Structure 1
Amino acid sequence: MRPLRLAVPLVALACVLPAAAQPPAPLVVAGGGKAPAVVVVSPTAGPWEKKAAAEVVRCVGLMTGTEPKLADTAEAVDAAIKGGGRVIVVGGAALKVDPSLAAALAKVAKKEPVLRADAIALRRQGDRIFVVGTNDDSHYYAAAELLRRWGCRWYLPTAIGECIPETKTLTVGDLDYAYAPPFEVRNYWVSWNGANDGQDEFMRRNYLNSGVGVPNGHAIGEYVQELIPKGKSVFDIPIADDATADHVVKKVAPKFAKGEFFSLGMEDGVYRSESKIDKELQAGLKDKYFLAASLTDPFLTLYNKVADKLLKAHPDSKSKIGFLAYGNLTIPPQRKMLAAKPLVAYLAAIDVDPIHGMDDPKSPPRQEYRDMMYRWAEVMQGRVVVYDYDQGMLVWRDLPNPSIGAIRQDVKHYKKAGILGVSTESRNAIATTFLNLHVRGQLYWNPDADVDALLGEVYERFYGPAAKPMAAYWGAILKAWDDTVVTEHEHFVIPAVYTPALVTQLRGHLVEAEKAVAPLAGHAGRNEKLYSERVRFARLGFNVLDHYTAMVKAAAADVDYGAAVAAGEKGLAARLELAKMNPTFTTRVVGVAPEGKDAGPAWFPGEVQQYRDLLAATDGTKGKLLTKLPTEWAFRRDPHDTGVVSGWAYRPVDLTWWKGRKDAGSVDSHRENPGHWGMLRTDVYMQAQGVVSPDYHSYTGYAWYRTDADVPAAAKAQIRFPGLFNEAWLYVNGHLVAHREYREPWWLSDYKFEWDVDVTAHMRPGSNRFAVRVHNPHHFGGMFRRPFLYQPR
């Protein structure tokens, strides 16, 4: 099978010709029986300017089979420019040949940038093609734009993501184009154990910049150690006091005087303060996301005091001071205030729905975030960088979560708000993010880019003969994430998104894709090999998903921990194969402990270990299973806290309303439940089953689970809730037998979410009635793994 071939004529995008004028004849760059054009770059070029020229040489060679010559010495440059032949002039050399290009760049570049103005220009004059930008990186962006017009794409870091078409003749028609992106900050960084292979080139090929930004990490602690009250922590310092501002100023003044960029970002935790001025500024406001006092007004008052004092001492300093709008500093200030000019805020709304876009009616939290972002943009006068969590939903599991649905909506709001840009935290973990970083790069460069068109071209270029089934494969995944009603993040959402039906559907698409590339086996062509490798990449990623969802079903729905452990071990083995294939594919880097030596249940290996421990409690090793409690329990919301006084723990449950609904058990039936008893599964948490308000806000407040079950007689019996969020109360046969305290928000817990209660003294022969009352003040609510009774050894 022949590799993908594309027609690659260049059409002018920014040049309007007079009616009588005729467009110039196409200029043959390579092929057509002619030697390729010479690529020219200044011998004093910057590092990325040089790489831009080298990239043009390499890609033209791959496309046509003949590499152009590179003129990069003073003599060669002079000879190429004066020789009158066909040349592609890259970078600063282009500005020397045609000084008017500087004016074209200045016309589109951002005026008075806070950090840096990127812009590019492409122009053809006769036999000359000019490729130029406003700085070292931008020269490369200009080259990437030229190559993109010839059909070149870089969808993933490293060679597996490169799509270079083949053509006999490469030409350029009329060309006069200049462009500048609206965002100054456009980057991502790789955290945790993610691999950085190919990142530098991938970023610039997709118009992303590195090193453009302001330090914003957790930093203020080092400047306030002397202010920590005795016996307290950094989270107890007086925030907005003049003494705190004066103390910080003394520490950072040398940096500010030198014009350095530095951070005064809050530490990673929830602040509290007994300072009088802090209490006055805080005004009793509570952060609904972090269940703590909202301290934005005190913090911004501190930052303004520090900045004003520094500016007074050093009025000509170009220093920038970054800080995090994060934790209980996420909600924008409520008082009328503007941020001092040196300040740059990084808005890091870590606990807001990362799935849906700001305009999606299924996500009130995301709409709230939109309003917060606009307000921060006003307060900061545009000096806001969105700290973007691209893989926040499925942290530490390496399952597909492309995160494209949200950014395609949100980026238009970012442009409208006039913020500085977006900085994405990634694990790389390409098996999770897939095209996410590529699409982000395109949208950060041009927020009006057509995402459907971007995705539509991917599959043919990336998968070749497997394009159709792989388009169906990824399309089904994207649709599942777009359609879901869940707004939480991390691995607990997986069963709600990757249903058994979806996994079966994906398996079928993948089998068809493997059949499509099977005839390529043994072919030596570059593209043929890549098509097969990419389908294998998808297969290994699916294997992780398949085994993981099987593990969760076995543990959460079937209480079969032996099967859960076996599936989990297969999933971990498949993940290791992914990591061996390419280190950028997972957070599991070969040769490095994937999640730490003693990974807890927040991590994939730790979750498998949790099921091993539960197996030991039920298989006779440390305990014996007595009975599995029902998968479905009667369920009722209790928004007015009526259940305790009304005896919901023991009075008969009326399911008439529920049984009368044709859609009983659907998401909509739970969403529209006006307060009746219904049935709810115990293997998926509340919101994932539609327990939300009519406008899709996740339900917060009290709720009740009820079930009756026959329990075999035992000398000792304990009930284990292997997955239960929230504070909870357990009733057995109508009487309260245990209360479980719980630290909210949910992510402050041990990530096991288990509760074990001795109920021996409260059981009776035959049928027993169990009731669980929960209080959900935040996101995740209720049970998500089926409970059981067991007899410990």
Structure 2
Amino acid sequence: MSRAFTILCAVLVLAACGKQGAASPPPLGKHDFLLVEGGRARAVLTLPGDATAEERLAAEELQEHLHRMAGVRLPLSGSGPQVLLGRAAGQWPDRAADPASFRLVVTPDRVEVLGASGEGTQNGVYELLEQLGVRWFMPGELGTVVPRTDTLALAVQETVQRPAFESRHLQVGSEGKDEAWKAWLRRMRSGGPRFPSAHGLKLGPEGSFEKAPELYALFRGKRRANQLCVSNAKTVQLASGQVRRYFRKHPDASWMGIGPNDGDGFCECPRCTALDAGAKDPVLGLPSHTDRYIWFFNQILKNIEGEFPDRKLCFYAYYKCTWPPVRQRPDSRIVPALAPITLCRIHGPNEKCPDAAQYVALLKAWCKLSPEVYERGYWSNLADPGLPFPMIHRMREQIPLAAQLGVKGWRVECFHHFASELPSLYVAMKLMWNDKADVDALLDDFYRSYYGPAAEPMARAGALMDAALRDGDYHTGSSYDMPYLYPAPLRATVGELLARAGKAAREEPYSARVQPIAASLELLDQFLLMLERRNQHDYAAARQALSRAADLQKELIDHRPPLLNARLAPEYLDRFFRPAVEEGHTRTSGGNRLLAGLKDTWQFRLDPQDEGERQGFPEGGPEAGWKPLKTSSTSWRTQGVPPDARTAWYRQTVKIPPGAGRAVLWFGGVDEKAKIWVNGRLLGESPGKAFEPFEVDATSAVQPGKDNLVVVKITNQWLNELGTGGITAPVMFYRP
């Protein structure tokens, strides 16, 4: 049964609704409690004499919103029916209750809003305001819906609610410091214990890499600072000391974050590898190191339990520590938070997604093994420049499943991408409070309240975009699958619906609410046009589309609060897509000349034993085993290349025009290291940085006027993005 429940008779808002109002409310019942009648206050607001800051804020929120609705503030003293807030309404009977819980009692002559804490009282006020029609769909004024009315009434009721999850947090970047974001989270009833973990653990001055390199990972024959040698007794000793110091410095802290650093480079010494169970990530085929880290955490807890017997260690179940241990039994004081970065981020536990079963199995396994499990996943499209990414389909499946399996709470990484994701995070917060919430009813209320006369076309557009992600059999990270998830006919249909919505929403605030969604669709169109023109070697047109995409990003970022993440949206566009377009344009203009653009489709083969050079692949042979594979237009995963592929070969024949003169072979990007031959001659290697352009001088190897064999060996040693690998951008010969 859900931990959130409501006993609610009815809700009435008697209003002559203004521009932000909804449909006409039902008539006033004779037993309802009147807050405001005919523009005059009918009730008195009462706080305890020693009101806490949280109780005072609850009163301020109620006063401010009622003033915006009806133009009046309830007096804080005087005679008349009372609205009792917090401890003015009594004492919460159960000291063990979740502090976010509240009770809202309405009789014809009295209202009581009592929380299990000040936080709970605030939540009760937000419930009251929502019953009156107030909505906070996203941070800031644009996302706030406040009906205009001169009469406000509450139905007789007793409503008791407590959250479905003890912990309900969204984690964003710099926008997390914004007051509008903080206020929105509070009104969405975010709260509870915040999972503390982060990457890494420093060993202190005595254990620095410079002084004691033997405490750090032996990786590829060298000691490296990125990870610890956790099997080293001195590492365990120093780590235990650091944990003791933390709890001494923070005596009220019940837990501490600990774990591997982000990235790879795990220790390969015999003692550390002996702690592993030999298990592999079932999706990527990567070795699992969870056992060694559970052993490490267990040792630390044993070392500190004399002084701190009840303190907990928290870590991210992430990357090579995603899957539960096989041999080691974690101490009950070890708290994992799932951060399944290696699983599909487009879909949730969707039966159409090949990663869905793995996610469900992962969640079940950890919940069975550990008494306290948190979710620290990704409600965003990582490394994406802010393109449309609705996640309603994920929320309606993932959050109830987590409640069913006993997940304690959430600290989910997300972006401040309200232009491209609305109302995903709103729905997520509603489900984190009540996992049994009716998502369809939430959506219906959102479209009617937020878009007013444009509700119908906006709802249809939103449903189409959400269904495109839900039903699309594409699972690559970043933006590589966007052309397939959002094909041109779908975008045209959505564009027509948004145009209809724009005509219907002529008045504010509805026009201002439709416009960012239209801008988000145009951003998608321009981004996909940029990719299309880039892949056709039309770099001038690609550059023009890229410029327009950047302008649209800025338009959405300049909104206050921003409607796209101000740092990451442009950073991802500039990091992953701008270099190939700008360099391609430079190398085909201003006196430079495109000699030959290589085709998107190459001949391809895997080389699992790395024997291709010995077998003559650079010269083009043997013939058997090659198959066609696309490069810049789609990903390895979409084409069925296995996720554990490490070495692969490409070849293509291209004619260089007569009299070409100097010829440079340019690559827009590979994942991640390339070795290049032309006509059997080795020309060089790439710098080894994933997705970045590079070039080699091919003048000495090309044969102008003839077919030239280009052969590329790719080594893909690191997981740079889900489902990527090989040649990821256009390739061409140009003459400087």
Q: Give the TM-score of the pair, scaled to structure 1.
A: 0.79
Indicate the residue corresponding to 1:686 in structure 2: 635
User: After superposition, what is the alpha-carbon deviation per residue over 1:28-84, rounded to whole angstroms, capped at 9, x for unaligned?
Assistant: 332268633222222422323222222222323333x2424142xxxx3xx5xxx5x
Contact 1:394 1:490 (8 Å CA) reproduced: yes
Which of the residues 81, 89, 92 maps onto 2:84? 89
Indicate the residue corresponding to 1:544 in structure 2: 523
* Aligned mates of 1:167, 1:639 — CA distance in 2: 71
**Structure 1 counterpart of 2:588, one-letter code:** T
Deviation at 1:186, TM superposition (A): 0.4
Which of the residues 106, 111, 115 maps onto 1:124? 106
Verify: 1:763 aligned to 2:703, yes or no: yes
Contact 2:556 2:564 (8 Å CA) reproduced: yes
User: After superposition, what is the alpha-carbon deviation per residue over 1:633-668, rounded to whole angstroms, capped at 9, x for unaligned?
Assistant: 5667889999997989868999xxxxxxxxxxxxxx
Map residues 307-386 of structure 1 onto 2, 5 A cutoff: 307-315=301-309, 319-341=311-333, 343-362=334-353, 364-381=354-371, 383-386=372-375
Indicate the residue corresponding to 2:31 in structure 1: 25
Deviation at 1:481, TM superposition (A): 1.7
Contact 1:725 1:753 (8 Å CA) reproduced: no
* Aligned mates of 1:194, 1:205 — CA distance in 2: 15
**Structure 2 counterpart of 1:470, one-letter code:** M
Verify: 1:404 aligned to 2:374, yes or no: no
Verify: 1:627 aligned to 2:618, yes or no: no
- State which drifts further: 717-726 or 138-147: 717-726
Secondary structure of residue in 1 paired with 2:36: strand
Indicate the residue corresponding to 1:502 in structure 2: 490
User: After superposition, what is the alpha-carbon deviation per residue over 1:606-642, rounded to whole angstroms, capped at 9, x for unaligned?
Assistant: 7334422221222245x42102223445667889999
* Aligned mates of 2:307, 2:523 — CA distance in 1: 58
Contact 2:379 2:413 (8 Å CA) reproduced: yes
User: After superposition, what is the alpha-carbon deviation per residue over 1:570-594, rounded to whole angstroms, capped at 9, x for unaligned?
Assistant: 22222222222224212227xxx98
Indicate the residue corresponding to 1:614 in structure 2: 584
Indicate the residue corresponding to 2:129 in structure 1: 147
Secondary structure of residue in 2 paired with 1:618: coil
Q: Which has the higher helix share?
A: 1
* Aligned mates of 1:605, 1:314 — CA distance in 2: 46
Rate the CA distance shift 1:152–1:192 in 2: closer, same or farther, 3 A.
Answer: closer
Q: Which segments of 5 or more consecutive residues in structure 2 lack a partner in the other structure?
A: 1-17, 216-221
User: After superposition, what is the alpha-carbon deviation per residue over 1:410-464, rounded to whole angstroms, capped at 9, x for unaligned?
Assistant: 1122112212211022332322332222111111111222222222221121111
Verify: 1:721 aligned to 2:667, yes or no: yes
Contact 1:540 1:574 (8 Å CA) reproduced: yes
Indicate the residue corresponding to 1:249 in structure 2: 240
Contact 2:203 2:235 (8 Å CA) reproduced: no
**Structure 2 counterpart of 1:398, one-letter code:** G
Deviation at 1:277, TM superposition (A): 3.8
* Aligned mates of 2:73, 2:308 — CA distance in 1: 52
Secondary structure of residue in 1 paired with 2:527: helix
Map residues 154-193 of structure 1 onto 2, 5 A cutoff: 154-192=136-174
Deviation at 1:187, TM superposition (A): 0.8
Indicate the residue corresponding to 2:378 in structure 1: 389
Contact 2:283 2:643 (8 Å CA) reproduced: no
Indicate the residue corresponding to 1:789 in structure 2: 733
- State which drifts further: 23-32 or 383-392: 23-32
**Structure 2 counterpart of 1:389, one-letter code:** Y
Secondary structure of residue in 1 paired with 2:562: helix
Deviation at 1:750, TM superposition (A): 4.1
Map residues 436-515 of structure 1 onto 2, 5 A cutoff: 436-515=424-503
Secondary structure of residue in 2 paired with 1:67: coil
Which of the residues 521, 528, 532 maps onto 1:553? 532
Deviation at 1:531, TM superposition (A): 1.0
* Aligned mates of 2:715, 2:54 — CA distance in 1: 56
Secondary structure of residue in 2 paired with 1:265: coil
Which of the residues 198, 206, 222 maps onto 2:188? 206
Aligned CA RMSD, in angstroms, stands at 3.6
Rate the CA distance shift 1:400–1:44 in 2: closer, same or farther, 3 A.
Answer: farther
Q: Which segments of 5 or more consecutive residues in structure 1 lack a partner in the other structure?
A: 12-22, 111-115, 521-528, 655-674, 744-748
Give the paired residue count. 700
- State which drifts further: 750-759 or 576-585: 750-759
Deviation at 1:490, TM superposition (A): 1.8
Deviation at 1:161, TM superposition (A): 0.4
Q: Give the TM-score of the pair, scaled to structure 2.
A: 0.85
Secondary structure of residue in 1 paired with 2:186: helix
Deviation at 1:266, TM superposition (A): 2.5
Rate the CA distance shift 1:710–1:236 in 2: closer, same or farther, 3 A.
Answer: closer
Which of the residues 137, 141, 147 maps onto 2:119? 137
Rate the CA distance shift 1:687–1:272 in 2: closer, same or farther, 3 A.
Answer: closer
Contact 1:304 1:340 (8 Å CA) reproduced: no
Rate the CA distance shift 1:510–1:238 in 2: closer, same or farther, 3 A.
Answer: same
Which of the residues 414, 417, 422 maps onto 1:426? 414
**Structure 2 counterpart of 1:409, one-letter code:** E
Contact 1:24 1:174 (8 Å CA) reproduced: no
Contact 1:325 1:348 (8 Å CA) reproduced: yes
* Aligned mates of 1:291, 1:742 — CA distance in 2: 26
Secondary structure of residue in 2 paired with 1:581: coil
Deviation at 1:320, TM superposition (A): 3.7
* Aligned mates of 1:462, 1:579 — CA distance in 2: 21
Secondary structure of residue in 1 paired with 2:437: coil
**Structure 2 counterpart of 1:229, one-letter code:** E
- State which drifts further: 190-199 or 634-643: 634-643
* Aligned mates of 1:255, 1:282 — CA distance in 2: 28
